[in-house]
């Protein structure tokens, strides 16, 4: 079964420091990977995606993610965290099968950036 794992329930980082939110995946075939962010009482906002090409993917709000095939990882990174980055982050893999698609999400990681 295709899945993603987010091993950390919460990540704490001080403002201005680099942040990393971890994600590992298990898929058959080539993975289509995504990061989304969710703020309180809101839906999910798309941050970035990896389908093919460069292993380093740049996304919205200064976020980037590194695709590592040998380690089956797709960690989300940002060089300098902001307090406003505090939110719930979801890694997801797109599953395809005979014409349909769905996203399989990780359990989410809460990022808390302290001033």
Partner 1 sequence: KAGVTQTPRYLIKTRGQQVTLSCSPISGHRSVSWYQQTPGQGLQFLFEYFSETQRNKGNFPGRFSGRQFSNSRSEMNVSTLELGDSALYLCASSFDSNQPQHFGDGTRLSIL
Task: Note the residues at the interface with partner 1 (CB under 8 A).
Answer: 34, 36, 41-46, 49, 51, 90, 94, 96-97, 99-108
Nearer Cβ to partner 1 (82/103): 103
* Torsion sign (Cα): 71, 112, 87, 81: negative
Q: How far is the CB of 50 from partner 1 (least distance, A)?
A: 11
CA nearest to 33, candidates 57, 60, 63: 57
Q: State which residue, 46 or 61, has the beta carbon closest to partner 1.
A: 46
Q: How far is the CB of 5 from partner 1 (least distance, A)?
A: 12
* Cα 104 from Cα 92, distance rounded (Å): 5
Q: Measured between alpha carbons, how far is residue 77 from residues 22, 42, 46 in Å?
A: 9, 22, 15
Least separation in angstroms between residue 68's CB and partner 1 is: 21
Least Å distance, CB 67 to partner 1, is 15
The residue (of 22 and 49) whose beta carbon lies closer to partner 1 is: 49
The DSSP bridge partners found for residue 49 are 34
């Amino acid at each position: 079964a295709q899945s993603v794992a987010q091993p950390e329930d919460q990540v704490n980082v001080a403002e201005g420091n680099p942040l990393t939110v971890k994600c590992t995946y298990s898929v058959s075939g080539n993975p289509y990977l995504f990061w989304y962010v969710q703020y309180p009482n809101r839906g999910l906002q798309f941050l970035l995606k990896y389908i093919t090409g460069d292993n380093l993917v740049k996304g919205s709000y200064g976020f980037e993610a590194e695709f590592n095939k040998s380690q089956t990882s797709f960690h989300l990174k940002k060089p300098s965290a902001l307090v406003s980055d505090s939110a719930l982050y979801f890694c997801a893999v797109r599953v395809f099968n005979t014409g349909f698609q769905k996203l399989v999400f990780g359990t989410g990681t809460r990022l808390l950036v302290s001033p």
